[in-house]
């Protein structure tokens, strides 16, 4: 039996009808042409208008992975370092290690029902090590917590403009009470700030590999990142434009995901062998009782789909699937819990 692997926080509700139409109607003959003109990007223009930020401060890339690969590759391993919170997107450390770039981690605090960033520890390590790049992810993968706005400001107020600050917002759209205008205002105030986003999660386009950054003026110079001379993929730009035009569809499925996620959290809280953390993303993190973890892994290995990913310290991250996935997975947890 081949298993359906759906544990990478993909959005299983799928892209908007207008996106699918754009894919079906794309005139295939156009693939033999570059984007018209040099450095031209209809998508950057659209994002510039939508976020009210000059087009030169919008950068398009082939997914956040592509962005981080380019960014880290430009560092000097003799003197530069990267500071990130503990429990981060695994690729950060994997790629920094590959390049032999010094990789520093500050603490995340585990509370009763959620995690929080230890901003004092962040600033302490920052002051000792003066990293070239500071990356915070909010909401964070895999812990699901957000960085409160006041803490973000505190960090920005206490670091040098020579440090590039990246706020990874891969999981935007699932955070309650997020106020975009406040973040956009920061870009003018802190020129070393970048907000980076992907079309993979909220827009359900993980397989297409598209992302973008909104960069403070200095951040853009610091990363020495060229806008693509011959342009970005024409078909991807068209699809991303259609996604941006489909806000009501995406808002609706984000609300469904949030509702399902919170239902799942409440259900798991009634079980005795799991500690589940609050989340503002499309996944949740659980700590599994040591006594049942092998049994649980064994059971999951027999299932037709795999929605959970095991991490260190008996932690398990569960992506929010469609209701039928979540219900089936909850039934499996309940079974094991009762053994
Ligand atoms: C925090 C975070 N940043 C970046 C990425 C990579 O996103 P993309 O699909 O745009 O490469 C992920 C993917 O899971 C992620 O969790």
Q: What is the mean pLDDT of the chain?
A: 96
pLDDT at 174 over 90: yes
143, 87 in Cβ contact below 8 A? yes
E strands present in 10-106: 58-61, 81-85, 102-106
Number of Cβ atoms within 10 Å of the Cβ of 212: 23
Q: What is the pLDDT of residue 223?
A: 82
Please state which of the ranges 26-35, 153-162, 191-200 shows the lowest mean pLDDT: 26-35
Please give the DSSP secondary-structure letter assigned to residue 33.
S
Residue with token string 């995340």 = 108
| C-alpha 196 to ligand 1 mean position (Å) | 10
pLDDT at 227 over 80: no
Residue with token string 């909010």 = 138
pLDDT more than 70, % of the chain: 99
How would residue 226 be classed by pLDDT, with cut points 50, 70 and 90?
A: low
Q: What is the pLDDT of residue 224?
A: 67
Instruction: Give the H or E element holding residue 273.
Output: none
Domain ranges of the chain: 4-12+248-337, 17-245
Q: What is the pLDDT of residue 290?
A: 96
Q: Which class would CATH give 4-12+248-337?
A: alpha beta
Residue 102: C-alpha distances to residues 93, 97, 160 (Å): 10, 8, 19
Pick the CATH number of 17-245 from 3.40.50.300, 3.90.228.20, 3.30.70.20, 3.40.640.10: 3.40.640.10
Mean pLDDT across 167-172: 98
| C-alpha 337 to ligand 1 mean position (Å) | 32
Q: How far apart are CA 216 and CA 197, in angstroms?
A: 14
pLDDT at 237 over 70: yes
List residues near ligand 1 (CB under 6 A). Answer: 9, 63-65, 89, 137, 141, 168, 170, 198, 200, 206, 211
**For residue 81, what are the β-bridge partners?**
102
Q: Do domains 4-12+248-337 and 17-245 have the same CATH topology?
A: no
| C-alpha 292 to ligand 1 mean position (Å) | 30
E strands present in 199-262: 211-215
Burial group, residue 52, by CB count within 10 angstroms (0-12, 13-18, 19+)? exposed
pLDDT digits (tens, 9 = 90+) for 5-15: 999 999 999 99
Mutate which of 71, 170, 206 for ligand 1? The one with the most ligand atoms within 8 Å of its CB, which is 170
pLDDT digits (tens, 9 = 90+) for 74-128: 999 999 999 999 999 999 999 999 999 999 999 999 999 999 999 999 999 999 9
pLDDT at 221 over 90: no
pLDDT more than 90, % of the chain: 93
Q: What is the pLDDT of residue 228?
A: 84
């Amino acid at each position: 039996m081949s298993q359906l692997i759906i544990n990478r926080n993909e959005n299983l509700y799928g892209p908007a009808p207008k996106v699918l139409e754009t894919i079906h109607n794309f005139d295939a003959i156009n693939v033999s042409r570059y984007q018209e003109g040099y450095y031209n990007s209809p998508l950057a223009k659209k994002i510039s208008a939508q976020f009210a930020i000059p087009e030169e401060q919008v950068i398009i890339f082939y997914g956040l992975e592509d962005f981080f690969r380019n960014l880290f590759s430009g560092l000097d391993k003799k003197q530069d370092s990267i500071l990130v919170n503990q429990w981060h997107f695994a690729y950060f450390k994997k790629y920094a290690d590959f390049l032999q770039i010094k990789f520093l981690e500050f603490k995340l605090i585990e509370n009763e029902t959620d995690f929080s960033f230890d901003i004092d520890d962040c600033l302490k390590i920052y002051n000792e090590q003066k990293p070239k790049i500071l990356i915070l992810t909010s909401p964070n993968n895999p812990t699901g917590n957000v960085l409160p706005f006041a803490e973000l400001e505190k960090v920005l107020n206490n670091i040098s403009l020579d440090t590039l600050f990246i706020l990874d917002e891969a999981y935007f759209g699932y955070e309650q009470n997020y106020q975009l205008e406040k973040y956009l205002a920061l870009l003018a105030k802190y020129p070393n700030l970048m907000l980076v986003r992907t079309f993979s999660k909220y827009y359900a386009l993980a397989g297409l590999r598209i992302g973008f950054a909104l960069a403070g003026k200095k951040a853009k110079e610091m990363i020495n990142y060229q806008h693509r001379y011959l342009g970005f993929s024409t078909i991807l730009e068209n699809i991303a434009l259609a996604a941006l035009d489909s806000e009501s569809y995406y808002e609706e499925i984000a609300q469904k995901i949030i509702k399902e996620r919170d239902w799942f959290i409440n259900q798991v809280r009634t079980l005795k062998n799991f500690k589940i953390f609050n989340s503002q993303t499309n996944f949740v993190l659980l700590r599994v009782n040591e006594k049942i973890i092998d049994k649980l892994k064994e059971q999951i290995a027999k299932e037709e789909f795999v929605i959970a990913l095991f991490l260190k310290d008996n932690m398990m991250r569960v992506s929010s699937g469609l209701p039928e996935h979540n219900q089936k997975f909850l039934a499996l947890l309940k079974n094991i819990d009762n053994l």
